[in-house]
Structure 1
Amino acid sequence: MNETPEAVTPAEPVPPSTQQEHSIELAAPAAGLIYSAEAAPAPVLSHASLRIGYEPGVMPGKWFTRWHERYGRTAPLAEIPLREGAGLEALTTALSTPNSTSGEARFEPLAHMAIMRATAQETPDKDRYHSIRLYEEVPVVVLSKDHVLTVLDEVPLGEMAEEFLLHEPEEFPAWGEASQQWRQQNPRFLPQIPTHADAIELVAAGVGLYITPMSVARLHHRKDLTYRPVPDAEPYPVHLVWPRTPAAPTPDTVQGEKDDEFEVLIQDFIGIVRGRTASSNRGSETAQARRTRIAGERAKATAKSRAANARQEACHQKTAASRTGGTSRRKAAASSKPGRKGKRTGKRR
C-alpha cells in the first residue's frame, strides 16, 4: 500500500456562516501527517471546535458518533486520520499560519487530542501530556496462508523459535531466548521497516513473519496472507493523549475565557470515552462557572451557619430570661408572706 502523502490542493472558499476570522491554508508539515488529505480538508479543520487525530487501525468510531449526536451542532468535531506513528507529532505541529500580519498568531496544532498506540518509539511523556488508556489490542502474527503454523488456532512465541521474525529479539524476549540458537545458526539481516504496511509486504514476499495488532492486520488484509493470535505476547495499549495546560495563567481575560471553553470540550470528549451518558453534566463546566458555583455554595453554607447560630443564641437568651423570671417571681412571693412574730417571754397561765 502506498502511503506517500497526496498533494494538498488549495482550500476552497468557505461559506460566510462557517468561515473563521482568518482564512487558512494547511501547512505542509501538517499535511504530511494526514493519512488522506481528502479526508481532512483545510476548511473542515479550521471550522472545527475540536480536532482529534487517530492512527491507522484504531477504532474511535463509536466515540465520534456520540460526539456528533450530542455536540455536533454547537461544537463541530474534525476526525483526522493520521499516518502511522504520527500521534504525538500531530499535537505539536502547527495546523497553518493565518493570513494576517496584525498581532501575534496563537499556535493552533493540527490535532488537539490524539488516539494512538503507546509504543517504545512513541510513548507520551507524562510531564508534557495527559494520557488515558482506552483499550488493548490483541497481538497477532501475520503469515502466508500455506504456512505450517496456520494449523494452530494460536501461535505462542515458542512455536516460532525456528522462524525469522521481522523484529529485533528485544521486542519479544521470549522469542529471542527460544530462537537464539537457531538465529546463530541461520544469521539473517533484518531490513529497515518504516511502517506496518512495509512489513506486510515483506511477509507476502516470504521474507519472514510479523507480529502486529490485530486491527493493523485487518487494515492491510491480503488474500494470500492470514494471521493468528499470539497469546503470550504483550497486548498493544491504545491511549487518548493531549497536551498538559501550561502552569502560568493567561493574562488576557478574553483568551482565558476561551481557554476555559476549550477545556470544557476536552472534558466532554473524555466523558464520552469513559462512558458518561448525555444526561451527565460532569466535565461541562468552565473554570469561571466552577468558581461561581463554589462561591455560591460557600455563601449558602455561611448563611446557613449564621442562621443556626442566631437560632441558638435566641434559644439561650430565652432560657436565660426564663430562669431570671422564675427567680424574680420566687423572690416576690417570698416577700409577700407575713413575717414571723417575736418570741414570747411571758409564761402561759
Structure 2
Amino acid sequence: MTGPGRAPFRLGHVSGVTPDKWARMWRERRPEVDLELDLAPTDEVVARVRSGALAAGLVRLPIDRDGLHAIPLYTETTVVVVPRDHVVTAADEAGLDDLADEIVLRPQDDTLPWPDDRPGRAAISDPATTADAIELVAAGVGLLVLPLSLARLHHRRDLVHRPLTDAPQSTVVLTWPDAENSEDMEEFIGIVRGRTANSSRTPRREETPAPRRPRSSPTGPARRGTPRRGARRR
C-alpha cells in the first residue's frame, strides 16, 4: 500500500525490457511507495518522462536525450527470426552475409542502430509493428532481425531464431529528467546499478589523518634532540 501522501513511483518501459527483478527489489526496499509500470513505445515513454508523467523509463537507444539523463544498463544480443525449416537454422549462428539474398522485414518500430546499408532486400512495404513482422515471417514473406528479448516475447513454435554475430546491437538505458533527483529516484538508480540496500548513495569523504603526537619517554615528556658534540649550549 502507498503510504499517506506518498505518490507512486511511475516507471515506463518498452516491449521486451522486463523490470520484474528491479520491481521486486523496490518492493523490498520501498514497501511504503507503490511502483507502477507503464508499457509503451519508446517515443511515448521518453515524452512522458520529459513531461514528468513518468519518473523514469527503461528504453532502447537511440533516443532524444535533450533534458534527460541516460545510463546504459546492458546490451542485447541481436538475432534473426526465420521459419523452422529455413537454411539458416542449419548452423548455431549466422552473419549478415547469410541474409544477402533474403527479404529482411523492417518494421516501423524497429530501434536497432542500423547504418545506411541494411542487410538483405527490402520488402514492398514496411510492416507497422514488430508483431506484424512476426506474422509475415510465419507466412514465409521474409526474415526479421531484432533484439533477442523481442524474439522471445513474440515466440512461435513455427519460428526459430539464431544469433547474428556481426549485426548492430541495441542498448537498454534508464532515462529520467535532468534535474535534482528525488530520494525515490536515487533509490531506483541504486537498484538498477546493483547497489545493496546498506550501501551509501554518496561517496565517503576523504578523512585527514590526525597529527601524530611526539613520543614520550616512560619517565617524562619527549626530550629534544641531543646537541652535537662541541656545540655550545645557550
For the Cα contact (< 8 Å) 1:135–1:238, is it kept in 2?
yes
Q: Does 1:243 align with 2:186?
A: no
CA RMSD between the two structures: 3.2
Counterpart position of 1:90: 48
Counterpart position of 1:153: 92
Counterpart position of 1:124: 64
- 1:241 is paired with a residue of what secondary structure? strand
- Where structure 2 has 5 or more consecutive residues not aligned to the other structure, the ranges are 108-112, 211-233
CA drift at 1:48: 4.0
Q: Deviations over 1:84-113 (max 9, x none)?
A: 6532123245xxxxxxxxxxxxxx51x110
Question: How does the TM-score come out when normalised to structure 2?
Answer: 0.76
CA drift at 1:149: 1.1
CA drift at 1:196: 1.2
Q: Does 1:196 align with 2:130?
A: yes
Counterpart position of 2:215: none
Cα distance 1:205–1:85, how it changes in 2: closer, same or farther (>3 A)? Answer: farther
Letter in 2 for 1:78: E
**Cα separation, 2, equivalents of 1:148 and 1:51:** 45
Alignment equivalent of 1:205, drawn from 118, 139, 142 = 139
**Cα separation, 1, equivalents of 2:42 and 2:68:** 19
For the Cα contact (< 8 Å) 2:42–2:60, is it kept in 1?
no
For the Cα contact (< 8 Å) 1:161–1:175, is it kept in 2?
no
**Cα separation, 1, equivalents of 2:17 and 2:57:** 11
Alignment equivalent of 1:217, drawn from 151, 172, 175 = 151
Aligned length: 206
- Where structure 1 has 5 or more consecutive residues not aligned to the other structure, the ranges are 1-14, 21-46, 94-107, 246-259, 284-293, 295-300, 305-329, 331-349
Q: Which has the larger radius of gyration?
A: 1
**Cα separation, 2, equivalents of 1:196 and 1:219:** 10
Letter in 2 for 1:72: P
Counterpart position of 2:110: none
State how 1:169-188 maps to structure 2 within 5 Å: 171=114, 176=119
For the Cα contact (< 8 Å) 1:158–1:174, is it kept in 2?
no
Question: How does the TM-score come out when normalised to structure 1?
Answer: 0.52
CA drift at 1:124: 3.0
**Cα separation, 2, equivalents of 1:90 and 1:273:** 20
State how 1:299-314 maps to structure 2 within 5 Å: none
Structure with the greater relative contact order (CA < 8 A, sep ≥ 6): 1 or 2?
2
Counterpart position of 2:182: 263
- 2:16 is paired with a residue of what secondary structure? coil
For the Cα contact (< 8 Å) 1:128–1:243, is it kept in 2?
yes
For the Cα contact (< 8 Å) 2:104–2:123, is it kept in 1?
no
- 1:216 is paired with a residue of what secondary structure? helix
For the Cα contact (< 8 Å) 1:140–1:211, is it kept in 2?
yes
CA drift at 1:77: 1.7
For the Cα contact (< 8 Å) 1:145–1:224, is it kept in 2?
yes
For the Cα contact (< 8 Å) 2:78–2:146, is it kept in 1?
yes
**Cα separation, 2, equivalents of 1:222 and 1:62:** 25
Cα distance 1:221–1:52, how it changes in 2: closer, same or farther (>3 A)? Answer: same
